[in-house]
Structure 1
Amino acid sequence: MKGSDLLTENIDKHRIHHLMEHWIEHNESHVKSFNEWGRKIGEAGYAEVAEKILEAAQKMEECTQKLQQAKDIL
């Protein structure tokens, strides 16, 4: 068996679905934290830093949407 076969032999719909669920949940946790900390950091006077953190939260939400779309295709 080739090395690449070893990497793909355990990939099935169930495993992919499980990974997608995990990644989505993980991203949602980060979004919540980024938004909370972005607000706090902004209130502490670091507006520019807060803006970037909130932008990161938005990008993470976009990432989560793509993962959800991929999961829906399954």
Structure 2
Amino acid sequence: MTEHIDKHRILHLMEHWIEHNESHLKSFNEWSRKIGEAGYEEAAAKILEAAGKMEECNQKLQQAKDSI
């Protein structure tokens, strides 16, 4: 049996995911700076790379949200 999925529930869930990711993005950027300043440039760069992937994820989530 398939659960009925309400449009408003889907939109709310996607908005939650986007906001949650934004919180992580802020943290990633702050910590990347601190880690880089501590001399771990490669790790800092990888964290920034991860942040970029999360931004891409948010773009896709926003596109999905906009399509509903």
- State whether TM-score is above 0.5: yes
Q: How many angstroms apart in 2 are the aligned matches of 1:61 and 1:67?
A: 10
Q: How many angstroms apart in 2 are the aligned matches of 1:51 and 1:12?
A: 40
Counterpart of 1:25? 19
Q: TM-score, length-normalised on structure 2?
A: 0.95
Aligned-pair distance for 1:10?
A: 3.5
Aligned residues: 68
Counterpart of 1:34? 28
Counterpart of 1:13? 7
Q: How many angstroms apart in 2 are the aligned matches of 1:43 and 1:10?
A: 50
Q: How many angstroms apart in 2 are the aligned matches of 1:40 and 1:65?
A: 26
Residue type of the alignment partner of 2:10: I
SS at match of 1:41: helix
Q: TM-score, length-normalised on structure 1?
A: 0.88
CA RMSD of aligned residues (A): 0.8
| Pair 1:59 & 2:53 matched | yes
Q: How many angstroms apart in 1 are the aligned matches of 2:9 and 2:3?
A: 11
Aligned-pair distance for 1:11?
A: 1.0
